[in-house]
Amino acid sequence: MDEAVAPHNPAETRFTVTSPEQMRELGLRLAGLLRAGDLVMLTGELGAGKTTLTRGLGEGLGVRGAVTSPTFVIARVHPSLVDGPPLVHVDAYRLSGGLDDMEDLDLDVSLPESVIVVEWGEGKVEDLTDDRLEILIHRAVGDTTDEVRHVTLTGLGERWAKADLDSLAG
């Protein structure tokens, strides 16, 4: 009789970030844990810091080009300058459907050799892989100048089962 494989419990950690610079630094530290084949999904309100975090990731991965929001082009590829994986930065906000709408981007083809970061990817890219890092950035909404963000990182799948997400504390 085959032994059932126990599902991996998600690895989860939480941080409080109080400035855009701290968000960028979190991305910089996170880049040290990432490798080719990683999918990172970013979820948060407009202005929460998704692109700022990705800017730090790009810096940490040593990629070419300024990391800016790809809202109007949907996806940008930033090649590595240090023989690491390229960063594929996707903004799925304007894509209404699931993975079918994303098919033209060939993310499934790019994933094995790239780090793919998808803003607004919830409900759209989960089928790409069982192993992914989901990052939820929560900020106060409404008329506020509050820079505080609550960031929850959840690693799903075998890839993240033993990842030390707590090591990202700054």
Cβ burial of 29 (10 Å; 0-12, 13-18, 19+) is middle
Predicted confidence (pLDDT) per residue in 86-137, tens digit: 999 988 876 665 555 555 566 666 778 999 999 988 887 888 888 999 999 9
What is the predicted pLDDT for the residue at 166? 87
Average pLDDT of the chain, as a whole number:
84
- 78/114 Cα distance (integer angstroms): 10
Question: Is-above-0.75 flag for pTM?
Answer: yes
Strands (E), the chain: 11-17, 39-44, 75-78, 87-91, 115-119, 132-139, 149-156
51 vs 91, more confident: 51
- 92/170 Cα distance (integer angstroms): 29
What is the predicted pLDDT for the residue at 1? 41
What is the predicted pLDDT for the residue at 127? 81
What is the predicted pLDDT for the residue at 102? 57
Rounded to an integer, the average pLDDT of 67-84 is 83
30 pLDDT band, cuts 50/70/90, is very high
Tell me the sheet residues that pair with 88: 77, 116
